[in-house]
Amino acid sequence: MDILTQQLFNGLTIGSVYSLVALGLTLVYGILHIPNFAHGALYMLGAYVTLTSMLLWNFNYWLAIAISIVVVGLLGVLMERLVFNPLKNSPPIHDKIAAIGILLFLEALAQLVWGADYRTMSTPYGEVVNVFGTTLTMQRVLINVGAVIVMILLYFFLKKTFMGSTIIAMAQNRKGAHLVGINTNKVAMLTFLISGGLAAIAASLSAPINLVFPGMGHLVILKAFVIIILGGMGSVPGAILGGYILGFTESLGATYISNDYKDVIAFILLIIILSFKPKGLFSKEGF
Amino acid sequence: MLKLAGLSVKYGSFTAIEKVDIEVNEGELVVLLGANGAGKSTVFKAISGIEKWSDGDILFNGSSIKKKSPDRIVKAGIVQCAEGRELFGGMTVYENLVMGAYVHRRKKAQVKKSLGHVYDLFPILQEKKDSAAGALSGGQQQMLAIGRSLMSQPKLLLLDEPSIGLAPLIVEQMFEVIQKINEEGTTVLLAEQNANAALKIADRGYVFESGSIVVEGSSNELFTNDSVRKAYIGA
Protein backbone atom coordinates (compact mmCIF):
# COMPACT_ATOMS: atom_id res chain seq x y z
CA MET A 1 0.00 0.00 0.00
CA ASP A 2 2.80 2.31 0.96
CA ILE A 3 4.53 1.83 -2.33
CA LEU A 4 1.29 2.38 -4.23
CA THR A 5 0.64 5.83 -2.74
CA GLN A 6 4.26 6.71 -3.30
CA GLN A 7 4.05 5.69 -6.94
CA LEU A 8 0.73 7.46 -7.45
CA PHE A 9 2.33 10.62 -6.17
CA ASN A 10 5.29 10.12 -8.48
CA GLY A 11 2.91 9.63 -11.38
CA LEU A 12 1.18 12.88 -10.50
CA THR A 13 4.52 14.68 -10.45
CA ILE A 14 5.71 13.31 -13.78
CA GLY A 15 2.25 13.92 -15.22
CA SER A 16 2.35 17.58 -14.13
CA VAL A 17 5.58 18.16 -16.02
CA TYR A 18 4.34 16.28 -19.11
CA SER A 19 1.08 18.24 -19.10
CA LEU A 20 2.85 21.59 -19.01
CA VAL A 21 5.11 20.65 -21.91
CA ALA A 22 2.24 19.15 -23.89
CA LEU A 23 0.08 22.25 -23.33
CA GLY A 24 2.61 24.47 -25.08
CA LEU A 25 2.89 22.00 -27.92
CA THR A 26 -0.85 21.58 -28.36
CA LEU A 27 -1.49 25.35 -28.34
CA VAL A 28 0.95 25.91 -31.18
CA TYR A 29 -0.42 22.95 -33.09
CA GLY A 30 -4.07 23.86 -32.52
CA ILE A 31 -3.68 27.48 -33.54
CA LEU A 32 -0.94 27.47 -36.16
CA HIS A 33 -0.93 23.80 -37.26
CA ILE A 34 2.81 23.60 -36.68
CA PRO A 35 4.11 20.41 -35.06
CA ASN A 36 6.88 22.19 -33.20
CA PHE A 37 9.64 19.62 -32.76
CA ALA A 38 11.83 22.42 -31.41
CA HIS A 39 9.60 22.62 -28.34
CA GLY A 40 11.90 20.11 -26.61
CA ALA A 41 14.82 22.46 -27.18
CA LEU A 42 12.84 25.30 -25.58
CA TYR A 43 12.29 23.02 -22.60
CA MET A 44 16.03 22.29 -22.40
CA LEU A 45 16.94 25.98 -22.67
CA GLY A 46 14.39 26.78 -19.97
CA ALA A 47 16.36 24.62 -17.56
CA TYR A 48 19.72 26.09 -18.61
CA VAL A 49 18.56 29.69 -18.30
CA THR A 50 17.25 29.05 -14.79
CA LEU A 51 20.41 27.18 -13.81
CA THR A 52 22.69 29.89 -15.20
CA SER A 53 20.81 32.73 -13.52
CA MET A 54 21.11 30.90 -10.20
CA LEU A 55 24.79 30.03 -10.54
CA LEU A 56 26.16 33.07 -12.30
CA TRP A 57 24.19 35.87 -10.73
CA ASN A 58 23.09 34.14 -7.54
CA PHE A 59 19.46 34.90 -8.23
CA ASN A 60 17.00 33.04 -6.09
CA TYR A 61 15.04 30.16 -7.57
CA TRP A 62 11.84 32.11 -8.24
CA LEU A 63 13.53 35.07 -9.87
CA ALA A 64 15.55 32.65 -12.01
CA ILE A 65 12.34 30.95 -13.15
CA ALA A 66 10.77 34.31 -14.00
CA ILE A 67 13.81 35.23 -16.12
CA SER A 68 13.67 31.85 -17.80
CA ILE A 69 9.98 32.29 -18.68
CA VAL A 70 10.69 35.66 -20.29
CA VAL A 71 13.83 34.54 -22.16
CA VAL A 72 12.38 31.30 -23.51
CA GLY A 73 9.03 32.94 -24.27
CA LEU A 74 10.77 35.60 -26.33
CA LEU A 75 12.86 32.94 -28.02
CA GLY A 76 9.60 31.29 -29.04
CA VAL A 77 8.38 34.60 -30.48
CA LEU A 78 11.67 35.00 -32.34
CA MET A 79 11.26 31.51 -33.78
CA GLU A 80 7.79 32.44 -35.04
CA ARG A 81 9.00 35.72 -36.56
CA LEU A 82 12.19 34.45 -38.18
CA VAL A 83 11.22 30.95 -39.21
CA PHE A 84 7.56 29.96 -39.08
CA ASN A 85 5.96 33.24 -40.18
CA PRO A 86 7.93 33.44 -43.44
CA LEU A 87 6.89 29.82 -44.09
CA LYS A 88 3.17 30.28 -43.52
CA ASN A 89 2.26 30.00 -47.19
CA SER A 90 4.58 27.07 -47.87
CA PRO A 91 3.58 23.40 -47.84
CA PRO A 92 3.24 22.01 -44.28
CA ILE A 93 6.32 19.80 -44.65
CA HIS A 94 8.48 22.94 -44.61
CA ASP A 95 7.33 23.76 -41.08
CA LYS A 96 8.33 20.30 -39.94
CA ILE A 97 11.76 20.48 -41.54
CA ALA A 98 12.33 23.95 -40.10
CA ALA A 99 11.26 22.80 -36.62
CA ILE A 100 13.77 19.95 -36.69
CA GLY A 101 16.41 22.38 -37.93
CA ILE A 102 15.76 24.71 -35.01
CA LEU A 103 15.92 21.77 -32.62
CA LEU A 104 19.36 20.71 -33.90
CA PHE A 105 20.61 24.28 -33.92
CA LEU A 106 19.53 25.05 -30.36
CA GLU A 107 20.96 21.81 -29.03
CA ALA A 108 24.31 22.44 -30.67
CA LEU A 109 24.21 25.97 -29.31
CA ALA A 110 23.56 24.70 -25.79
CA GLN A 111 26.44 22.28 -26.11
CA LEU A 112 28.71 25.10 -27.24
CA VAL A 113 27.71 27.45 -24.43
CA TRP A 114 27.26 25.08 -21.51
CA GLY A 115 29.11 21.95 -22.63
CA ALA A 116 27.79 18.42 -22.83
CA ASP A 117 28.13 17.65 -19.11
CA TYR A 118 25.27 16.56 -16.95
CA ARG A 119 24.52 19.23 -14.38
CA THR A 120 22.39 19.32 -11.31
CA MET A 121 20.21 22.17 -10.18
CA SER A 122 20.00 22.87 -6.48
CA THR A 123 16.70 23.88 -4.96
CA PRO A 124 15.80 25.70 -1.80
CA TYR A 125 13.00 23.17 -1.38
CA GLY A 126 15.05 20.04 -0.76
CA GLU A 127 13.56 19.13 2.61
CA VAL A 128 11.58 15.97 3.09
CA VAL A 129 8.05 16.03 4.39
CA ASN A 130 5.80 13.25 5.62
CA VAL A 131 2.23 13.21 4.46
CA PHE A 132 -0.02 10.29 5.50
CA GLY A 133 3.01 8.07 5.97
CA THR A 134 4.41 8.88 2.53
CA THR A 135 7.78 10.55 2.20
CA LEU A 136 7.81 13.42 -0.24
CA THR A 137 10.33 16.09 -1.07
CA MET A 138 9.07 19.66 -1.07
CA GLN A 139 10.29 20.09 -4.66
CA ARG A 140 7.91 17.39 -5.85
CA VAL A 141 5.04 18.97 -3.97
CA LEU A 142 6.00 22.25 -5.57
CA ILE A 143 5.90 20.73 -9.07
CA ASN A 144 2.36 19.52 -8.52
CA VAL A 145 1.02 22.67 -6.96
CA GLY A 146 2.85 24.90 -9.45
CA ALA A 147 1.54 22.98 -12.44
CA VAL A 148 -2.06 23.16 -11.25
CA ILE A 149 -1.78 26.91 -10.61
CA VAL A 150 -0.30 27.49 -14.08
CA MET A 151 -3.08 25.43 -15.68
CA ILE A 152 -5.79 27.36 -13.84
CA LEU A 153 -4.22 30.67 -14.85
CA LEU A 154 -4.00 29.51 -18.47
CA TYR A 155 -7.64 28.43 -18.39
CA PHE A 156 -8.78 31.82 -17.10
CA PHE A 157 -6.62 33.61 -19.61
CA LEU A 158 -8.10 31.65 -22.52
CA LYS A 159 -11.71 31.65 -21.39
CA LYS A 160 -12.18 34.90 -19.54
CA THR A 161 -10.01 37.51 -21.24
CA PHE A 162 -10.52 39.07 -24.63
CA MET A 163 -6.92 38.42 -25.61
CA GLY A 164 -7.32 34.78 -24.68
CA SER A 165 -10.51 34.41 -26.67
CA THR A 166 -8.76 35.70 -29.79
CA ILE A 167 -6.47 32.66 -29.44
CA ILE A 168 -9.48 30.34 -29.24
CA ALA A 169 -11.15 32.15 -32.13
CA MET A 170 -8.10 31.64 -34.31
CA ALA A 171 -7.90 27.98 -33.32
CA GLN A 172 -11.53 27.45 -34.31
CA ASN A 173 -11.47 29.38 -37.57
CA ARG A 174 -8.44 31.15 -38.91
CA LYS A 175 -10.28 32.79 -41.80
CA GLY A 176 -13.06 33.87 -39.47
CA ALA A 177 -10.44 35.52 -37.27
CA HIS A 178 -9.15 37.44 -40.29
CA LEU A 179 -12.67 38.54 -41.18
CA VAL A 180 -13.45 40.06 -37.77
CA GLY A 181 -10.19 42.00 -37.87
CA ILE A 182 -8.03 39.97 -35.50
CA ASN A 183 -4.35 40.53 -36.20
CA THR A 184 -3.35 36.92 -36.70
CA ASN A 185 0.36 37.75 -36.56
CA LYS A 186 -0.06 39.07 -33.04
CA VAL A 187 -1.99 35.98 -32.01
CA ALA A 188 0.72 33.75 -33.48
CA MET A 189 3.41 35.59 -31.50
CA LEU A 190 1.34 35.46 -28.34
CA THR A 191 0.86 31.72 -28.78
CA PHE A 192 4.59 31.11 -29.14
CA LEU A 193 5.25 33.36 -26.13
CA ILE A 194 2.90 31.30 -23.96
CA SER A 195 4.22 28.04 -25.36
CA GLY A 196 7.84 28.98 -24.58
CA GLY A 197 6.88 30.23 -21.14
CA LEU A 198 5.14 26.93 -20.33
CA ALA A 199 8.20 24.95 -21.45
CA ALA A 200 10.43 27.11 -19.24
CA ILE A 201 8.17 26.58 -16.22
CA ALA A 202 8.03 22.82 -16.76
CA ALA A 203 11.80 22.55 -17.14
CA SER A 204 12.63 24.82 -14.21
CA LEU A 205 10.28 22.98 -11.87
CA SER A 206 11.47 19.52 -12.85
CA ALA A 207 15.21 20.20 -13.29
CA PRO A 208 16.05 19.84 -9.55
CA ILE A 209 14.72 16.26 -9.57
CA ASN A 210 16.29 15.41 -12.93
CA LEU A 211 19.53 16.38 -14.64
CA VAL A 212 20.25 19.28 -16.95
CA PHE A 213 22.00 18.43 -20.24
CA PRO A 214 21.67 19.41 -23.92
CA GLY A 215 19.67 16.30 -24.85
CA MET A 216 17.24 16.49 -21.91
CA GLY A 217 14.38 17.56 -24.19
CA HIS A 218 14.45 14.48 -26.44
CA LEU A 219 12.42 12.04 -24.47
CA VAL A 220 10.17 14.75 -23.06
CA ILE A 221 9.20 16.08 -26.49
CA LEU A 222 8.59 12.58 -27.85
CA LYS A 223 6.27 11.90 -24.96
CA ALA A 224 4.61 15.29 -25.31
CA PHE A 225 3.78 14.34 -28.90
CA VAL A 226 2.37 11.03 -27.69
CA ILE A 227 0.26 12.99 -25.20
CA ILE A 228 -1.18 15.44 -27.67
CA ILE A 229 -1.90 12.68 -30.16
CA LEU A 230 -3.71 10.56 -27.61
CA GLY A 231 -5.42 13.61 -26.10
CA GLY A 232 -6.50 14.94 -29.50
CA MET A 233 -4.24 17.23 -31.52
CA GLY A 234 -4.80 20.84 -30.50
CA SER A 235 -7.01 20.06 -27.51
CA VAL A 236 -6.17 21.78 -24.22
CA PRO A 237 -8.08 19.42 -21.90
CA GLY A 238 -6.63 16.54 -23.94
CA ALA A 239 -3.09 17.69 -23.22
CA ILE A 240 -3.72 17.97 -19.49
CA LEU A 241 -5.54 14.66 -19.14
CA GLY A 242 -3.12 12.91 -21.49
CA GLY A 243 -0.15 14.18 -19.48
CA TYR A 244 -1.50 12.78 -16.24
CA ILE A 245 -2.56 9.48 -17.82
CA LEU A 246 0.94 9.01 -19.14
CA GLY A 247 2.53 10.04 -15.83
CA PHE A 248 0.48 7.52 -13.85
CA THR A 249 0.93 4.72 -16.35
CA GLU A 250 4.68 5.21 -16.41
CA SER A 251 5.21 5.33 -12.69
CA LEU A 252 2.90 2.38 -11.99
CA GLY A 253 4.31 0.44 -14.93
CA ALA A 254 7.86 1.06 -13.74
CA THR A 255 6.97 -0.38 -10.32
CA TYR A 256 4.71 -3.27 -11.20
CA ILE A 257 6.01 -4.31 -14.61
CA SER A 258 9.61 -3.31 -15.07
CA ASN A 259 11.62 -0.12 -14.76
CA ASP A 260 13.38 -0.96 -18.02
CA TYR A 261 10.14 -0.68 -19.96
CA LYS A 262 9.17 2.68 -18.45
CA ASP A 263 9.71 4.64 -21.66
CA VAL A 264 8.09 2.03 -23.90
CA ILE A 265 4.85 2.24 -21.96
CA ALA A 266 3.99 5.65 -23.43
CA PHE A 267 3.99 4.23 -26.92
CA ILE A 268 2.07 1.10 -26.01
CA LEU A 269 -0.54 3.32 -24.40
CA LEU A 270 -0.69 5.38 -27.58
CA ILE A 271 -1.35 2.31 -29.69
CA ILE A 272 -4.06 1.06 -27.34
CA ILE A 273 -5.89 4.40 -27.10
CA LEU A 274 -5.72 5.10 -30.82
CA SER A 275 -7.11 1.63 -31.54
CA PHE A 276 -10.28 2.59 -29.73
CA LYS A 277 -10.39 6.35 -30.30
CA PRO A 278 -8.55 7.10 -33.54
CA LYS A 279 -8.96 10.87 -33.15
CA GLY A 280 -7.69 10.90 -29.58
CA LEU A 281 -9.60 11.34 -26.34
CA PHE A 282 -10.84 14.82 -27.19
CA SER A 283 -11.54 15.94 -30.72
CA LYS A 284 -10.50 19.50 -31.45
CA GLU A 285 -13.92 20.94 -30.66
CA GLY A 286 -13.07 20.48 -27.02
CA PHE A 287 -10.64 23.39 -27.12
CA MET B 1 -16.39 54.97 -51.84
CA LEU B 2 -14.88 51.78 -53.24
CA LYS B 3 -13.19 51.61 -56.60
CA LEU B 4 -11.62 48.60 -58.26
CA ALA B 5 -9.46 49.77 -61.14
CA GLY B 6 -8.27 47.17 -63.62
CA LEU B 7 -7.94 44.53 -60.92
CA SER B 8 -6.39 41.16 -61.83
CA VAL B 9 -5.80 38.23 -59.50
CA LYS B 10 -3.79 35.17 -60.43
CA TYR B 11 -3.55 31.80 -58.71
CA GLY B 12 -0.23 30.61 -60.03
CA SER B 13 -0.59 30.71 -63.79
CA PHE B 14 -4.38 30.66 -63.66
CA THR B 15 -6.01 34.08 -63.98
CA ALA B 16 -9.01 34.14 -61.63
CA ILE B 17 -10.16 37.65 -62.49
CA GLU B 18 -8.89 39.93 -65.20
CA LYS B 19 -9.03 43.73 -65.46
CA VAL B 20 -12.12 44.19 -63.36
CA ASP B 21 -13.52 47.70 -62.86
CA ILE B 22 -16.15 48.14 -60.19
CA GLU B 23 -17.34 51.26 -58.45
CA VAL B 24 -19.53 51.44 -55.37
CA ASN B 25 -20.82 54.80 -54.15
CA GLU B 26 -21.70 55.63 -50.58
CA GLY B 27 -25.14 54.38 -49.55
CA GLU B 28 -25.58 52.12 -52.56
CA LEU B 29 -26.50 48.46 -52.68
CA VAL B 30 -24.56 46.94 -55.56
CA VAL B 31 -24.81 43.33 -56.67
CA LEU B 32 -22.28 41.09 -58.40
CA LEU B 33 -23.99 38.37 -60.38
CA GLY B 34 -22.33 35.29 -61.78
CA ALA B 35 -22.16 31.52 -61.70
CA ASN B 36 -19.89 29.48 -59.43
CA GLY B 37 -16.27 30.11 -60.19
CA ALA B 38 -16.93 33.30 -62.12
CA GLY B 39 -14.66 35.23 -59.77
CA LYS B 40 -17.03 36.90 -57.32
CA SER B 41 -15.43 35.45 -54.20
CA THR B 42 -11.96 36.25 -55.52
CA VAL B 43 -12.97 39.91 -55.80
CA PHE B 44 -14.14 39.82 -52.19
CA LYS B 45 -10.97 38.14 -50.98
CA ALA B 46 -8.90 40.79 -52.71
CA ILE B 47 -10.92 43.61 -51.15
CA SER B 48 -10.56 42.03 -47.69
CA GLY B 49 -6.80 41.69 -48.13
CA ILE B 50 -6.86 37.89 -47.90
CA GLU B 51 -5.80 37.46 -51.54
CA LYS B 52 -3.02 39.53 -53.08
CA TRP B 53 -3.56 40.89 -56.54
CA SER B 54 -1.11 41.17 -59.40
CA ASP B 55 -2.36 44.17 -61.38
CA GLY B 56 -4.59 47.16 -60.86
CA ASP B 57 -5.60 48.72 -57.59
CA ILE B 58 -8.37 48.94 -55.02
CA LEU B 59 -9.19 52.37 -53.64
CA PHE B 60 -11.26 52.91 -50.51
CA ASN B 61 -12.33 56.52 -50.02
CA GLY B 62 -9.65 57.55 -52.45
CA SER B 63 -6.64 55.74 -51.00
CA SER B 64 -5.15 52.41 -52.04
CA ILE B 65 -5.57 49.45 -49.68
CA LYS B 66 -2.87 47.41 -51.39
CA LYS B 67 -0.49 47.53 -48.44
CA LYS B 68 -3.12 47.08 -45.74
CA SER B 69 -3.30 43.81 -43.78
CA PRO B 70 -6.73 42.12 -43.35
CA ASP B 71 -7.16 43.43 -39.82
CA ARG B 72 -6.42 47.02 -40.85
CA ILE B 73 -8.93 46.77 -43.67
CA VAL B 74 -11.58 45.78 -41.13
CA LYS B 75 -10.53 48.72 -38.97
CA ALA B 76 -10.88 51.00 -41.97
CA GLY B 77 -14.53 49.91 -42.25
CA ILE B 78 -14.67 47.16 -44.89
CA VAL B 79 -16.09 43.97 -43.44
CA GLN B 80 -16.79 40.75 -45.27
CA CYS B 81 -19.39 38.15 -44.46
CA ALA B 82 -17.87 35.20 -46.33
CA GLU B 83 -19.61 32.48 -48.27
CA GLY B 84 -18.64 29.68 -45.88
CA ARG B 85 -19.88 31.82 -42.97
CA GLU B 86 -16.59 31.17 -41.16
CA LEU B 87 -18.11 31.23 -37.69
CA PHE B 88 -16.32 30.18 -34.51
CA GLY B 89 -18.21 26.89 -34.23
CA GLY B 90 -17.31 26.03 -30.65
CA MET B 91 -18.20 29.44 -29.30
CA THR B 92 -21.68 30.59 -28.34
CA VAL B 93 -23.73 32.94 -30.48
CA TYR B 94 -23.04 35.72 -27.99
CA GLU B 95 -19.28 35.08 -28.01
CA ASN B 96 -19.25 35.10 -31.81
CA LEU B 97 -20.99 38.46 -31.86
CA VAL B 98 -18.67 39.96 -29.28
CA MET B 99 -15.70 38.67 -31.26
CA GLY B 100 -17.20 40.44 -34.29
CA ALA B 101 -16.72 43.71 -32.43
CA TYR B 102 -13.01 42.95 -32.03
CA VAL B 103 -11.84 46.23 -33.58
CA HIS B 104 -14.05 48.19 -31.15
CA ARG B 105 -13.26 46.01 -28.13
CA ARG B 106 -12.30 48.94 -25.92
CA LYS B 107 -15.57 50.82 -26.48
CA LYS B 108 -17.89 48.79 -24.26
CA ALA B 109 -20.94 51.04 -24.70
CA GLN B 110 -20.63 50.88 -28.47
CA VAL B 111 -20.34 47.08 -28.44
CA LYS B 112 -23.48 46.87 -26.34
CA LYS B 113 -25.34 49.15 -28.71
CA SER B 114 -24.31 47.11 -31.76
CA LEU B 115 -25.35 43.96 -29.96
CA GLY B 116 -28.80 45.42 -29.34
CA HIS B 117 -29.02 46.41 -32.99
CA VAL B 118 -28.13 42.90 -34.19
CA TYR B 119 -30.65 41.34 -31.80
CA ASP B 120 -33.29 43.73 -33.18
CA LEU B 121 -32.54 42.64 -36.73
CA PHE B 122 -32.38 38.94 -35.85
CA PRO B 123 -34.45 38.24 -32.70
CA ILE B 124 -33.67 34.52 -33.02
CA LEU B 125 -30.03 35.24 -32.20
CA GLN B 126 -30.98 36.71 -28.84
CA GLU B 127 -33.11 33.66 -28.14
CA LYS B 128 -30.20 31.38 -28.98
CA LYS B 129 -27.42 33.52 -27.55
CA ASP B 130 -26.07 30.74 -25.36
CA SER B 131 -26.12 28.00 -28.02
CA ALA B 132 -22.94 26.96 -29.77
CA ALA B 133 -22.71 28.53 -33.22
CA GLY B 134 -22.01 25.11 -34.75
CA ALA B 135 -25.35 23.80 -33.45
CA LEU B 136 -27.49 26.37 -35.27
CA SER B 137 -29.47 25.69 -38.44
CA GLY B 138 -28.08 26.94 -41.75
CA GLY B 139 -30.35 29.98 -41.82
CA GLN B 140 -29.50 30.91 -38.25
CA GLN B 141 -25.79 30.51 -38.97
CA GLN B 142 -26.13 32.87 -41.90
CA MET B 143 -27.93 35.39 -39.67
CA LEU B 144 -25.16 35.05 -37.11
CA ALA B 145 -22.52 35.57 -39.80
CA ILE B 146 -24.23 38.76 -40.97
CA GLY B 147 -24.79 39.84 -37.37
CA ARG B 148 -21.14 39.27 -36.55
CA SER B 149 -20.10 41.41 -39.52
CA LEU B 150 -22.39 44.23 -38.37
CA MET B 151 -20.81 44.19 -34.90
CA SER B 152 -17.78 45.99 -36.26
CA GLN B 153 -20.06 48.75 -37.62
CA PRO B 154 -18.85 48.54 -41.21
CA LYS B 155 -19.03 51.44 -43.63
CA LEU B 156 -18.97 48.91 -46.46
CA LEU B 157 -20.39 45.44 -45.98
CA LEU B 158 -19.38 42.67 -48.39
CA LEU B 159 -21.90 39.85 -48.46
CA ASP B 160 -20.81 36.71 -50.29
CA GLU B 161 -23.80 34.58 -51.34
CA PRO B 162 -25.91 34.98 -48.21
CA SER B 163 -28.74 32.97 -49.77
CA ILE B 164 -26.73 29.86 -50.62
CA GLY B 165 -28.29 26.65 -49.37
CA LEU B 166 -31.23 28.33 -47.62
CA ALA B 167 -34.95 27.62 -47.90
CA PRO B 168 -36.85 30.09 -50.15
CA LEU B 169 -38.78 31.61 -47.25
CA ILE B 170 -35.58 32.27 -45.30
CA VAL B 171 -33.95 33.72 -48.42
CA GLU B 172 -36.77 36.23 -48.67
CA GLN B 173 -36.31 37.28 -45.03
CA MET B 174 -32.59 37.50 -45.52
CA PHE B 175 -32.94 39.90 -48.42
CA GLU B 176 -35.40 42.03 -46.47
CA VAL B 177 -32.85 42.37 -43.70
CA ILE B 178 -30.08 43.19 -46.17
CA GLN B 179 -32.22 45.92 -47.64
CA LYS B 180 -32.90 47.25 -44.15
CA ILE B 181 -29.20 47.28 -43.30
CA ASN B 182 -28.57 49.26 -46.47
CA GLU B 183 -31.39 51.71 -45.73
CA GLU B 184 -29.91 52.33 -42.29
CA GLY B 185 -26.82 53.73 -43.98
CA THR B 186 -24.41 50.83 -44.61
CA THR B 187 -23.12 50.55 -48.15
CA VAL B 188 -23.51 46.97 -49.35
CA LEU B 189 -21.71 44.99 -52.03
CA LEU B 190 -23.54 41.71 -52.55
CA ALA B 191 -22.39 38.66 -54.51
CA GLU B 192 -25.26 36.45 -55.58
CA GLN B 193 -26.41 33.73 -57.93
CA ASN B 194 -30.02 34.39 -57.05
CA ALA B 195 -30.34 37.25 -59.54
CA ASN B 196 -34.08 37.57 -59.20
CA ALA B 197 -34.05 38.29 -55.48
CA ALA B 198 -30.84 40.32 -55.56
CA LEU B 199 -31.85 42.67 -58.36
CA LYS B 200 -35.09 43.48 -56.54
CA ILE B 201 -33.21 45.14 -53.70
CA ALA B 202 -30.09 46.37 -55.54
CA ASP B 203 -29.44 49.80 -57.07
CA ARG B 204 -26.94 48.61 -59.65
CA GLY B 205 -25.24 45.43 -60.71
CA TYR B 206 -22.33 43.82 -62.52
CA VAL B 207 -22.41 40.45 -64.26
CA PHE B 208 -19.32 38.23 -64.06
CA GLU B 209 -18.39 35.58 -66.54
CA SER B 210 -15.14 33.60 -66.25
CA GLY B 211 -13.28 36.32 -64.40
CA SER B 212 -14.44 39.40 -66.31
CA ILE B 213 -17.38 41.75 -66.20
CA VAL B 214 -19.60 41.23 -69.23
CA VAL B 215 -22.58 43.45 -68.43
CA GLU B 216 -23.16 46.28 -66.01
CA GLY B 217 -26.01 48.66 -65.35
CA SER B 218 -28.87 49.66 -63.08
CA SER B 219 -31.03 46.91 -61.64
CA ASN B 220 -33.79 47.67 -64.11
CA GLU B 221 -31.43 47.52 -67.06
CA LEU B 222 -30.07 44.17 -65.94
CA PHE B 223 -33.53 42.88 -65.21
CA THR B 224 -34.62 43.58 -68.75
CA ASN B 225 -31.33 42.54 -70.36
CA ASP B 226 -32.00 39.45 -72.45
CA SER B 227 -28.75 37.61 -71.82
CA VAL B 228 -29.00 38.21 -68.07
CA ARG B 229 -32.56 36.99 -68.03
CA LYS B 230 -31.61 33.85 -69.93
CA ALA B 231 -28.58 33.05 -67.85
CA TYR B 232 -29.68 33.97 -64.33
CA ILE B 233 -33.38 34.50 -64.09
CA GLY B 234 -34.59 31.74 -66.30
CA ALA B 235 -37.55 33.47 -67.95
B195-232 pLDDT, tens per residue? Answer: 888 899 999 999 988 888 988 999 888 888 887 777 77
The whole-number pLDDT of residue B93 equals 95
Q: How far apart are CA A43 and CA A228, in angstroms?
A: 16
Q: Do A181 and B152 touch (CB under 8 A)?
A: yes
SS3 per-residue string spanning chain A: CHHHHHHHHHHHHHHHHHHHHHHHHHHHHHHHCCCCCCHHHHHHHHHHHHHHHHHHCCCCHHHHHHHHHHHHHHHHHHHHHHHHCCCCCCCHHHHHHHHHHHHHHHHHHHHHHHCCCCECCCCCCCCEEEECCEEEEHHHHHHHHHHHHHHHHHHHHHHHCHHHHHHHHHHHCHHHHHHCCCCHHHHHHHHHHHHHHHHHHHHHHHHHHCCECCCCHHHHHHHHHHHHHHHCCCCHHHHHHHHHHHHHHHHHHHHHCCHHHHHHHHHHHHHHHHHHCCCCCCCHHHC
Instruction: Please list every residue in chain B whose beta carbon sits closer than 8 Å to the beta carbon of residue A172.
Output: 88-91
Instruction: Please list every residue in chain B whose beta carbon sits closer than 8 Å to the beta carbon of residue A185.
Output: 69
What interhelical angle do A236-256 and A262-276 show, nearest 10? 130
Sheet containing strand B212-218, strands side by side: B78-81, B156-160, B187-192, B29-33, B204-209, B212-218
Domain span at residue A129 reads 2-286
Is residue B97 helix, strand or coil?
A: helix
Give A268's contacts (C-beta < 8 A, 6+ positions apart): none
Instruction: Please list every residue in chain B whose beta carbon sits closer than 8 Å to the beta carbon of residue A181.
Output: 70-71, 73-75, 79, 102-103, 152
Q: Do B69 and A162 touch (CB under 8 A)?
A: no
The whole-number pLDDT of residue A253 equals 84
Q: Is the minimum CB–CB distance between B120 and chain A shorter than 8 Å?
A: no
- Complex ipTM value: 0.84
Q: Is the minimum CB–CB distance between A168 and chain B shorter than 8 Å?
A: yes
pTM: 0.86
- pLDDT digits over B4-32, tens only? 988 999 888 888 888 999 999 999 999 99
Q: Is the minimum CB–CB distance between B95 and chain A shorter than 8 Å?
A: yes
Q: CATH number, domain at A225? A: 1.10.3470
Q: 136-155 in B: which are within 8 Å (CB) of A?
A: 148-149, 151-152
C-alpha B97, offset from chain centre: 17
Q: Is the minimum CB–CB distance between A181 and chain B shorter than 8 Å?
A: yes
The whole-number pLDDT of residue A59 equals 87
Q: Is the pLDDT of residue B170 over 80?
A: yes
CA of A186, closest CA in chain B: separation in Å?
11
Q: Is the minimum CB–CB distance between B216 and chain A shorter than 8 Å?
A: no
CA of A285, closest CA in chain B: separation in Å?
6
Is residue B60 helix, strand or coil?
A: strand
B24 - beta bridge partners? B2
Q: Is the minimum CB–CB distance between A258 and chain B shorter than 8 Å?
A: no
Contact A196, A20 (CB under 8 A): no
What mean pLDDT comes out for the span B138-160? 94
DSSP code at position B62: T
Total beta-carbon pairs less than 8 A apart between chain A and chain B: 71
Q: Do A285 and B89 touch (CB under 8 A)?
A: yes
The phi, psi pair for B147, rounded to 5°, reads -60, -45
- pLDDT digits over B52-105, tens only? 888 899 999 989 998 898 999 999 999 999 888 899 998 999 999 999 999 998
Break chain B into its structural domains and give their ranges. Answer: 86-153
Q: Give, for all 287 residues of chain A, the pLDDT tens digit.
A: 578 888 888 889 999 999 999 999 999 998 888 999 999 999 999 999 999 999 888 888 899 999 999 999 999 999 999 999 999 888 889 999 999 999 999 999 999 999 888 988 888 887 887 777 777 888 888 888 999 999 999 999 998 888 999 999 999 998 899 999 999 899 999 999 999 999 999 999 998 888 889 889 888 898 899 898 888 888 888 899 999 999 998 888 888 887 788 778 878 888 888 888 878 788 654 44
- Strands (DSSP E) found in chain B: 2-11, 14-24, 29-33, 55-60, 63-64, 78-81, 156-160, 187-192, 204-209, 212-218
Rama region for B37: left / alpha / beta (φ>0; ψ in -120 to 50; rest): left
Report how many domains make up chain A: 1
From the list B27, B5, B36, the residue with the least C-alpha distance to B202 is B27
Angle of CA points B94, B100, B101, to nearest 5°: 100
Angle of CA points A227, A39, A120, to nearest 5°: 95
Q: Is the pLDDT of residue B234 over 70?
A: no
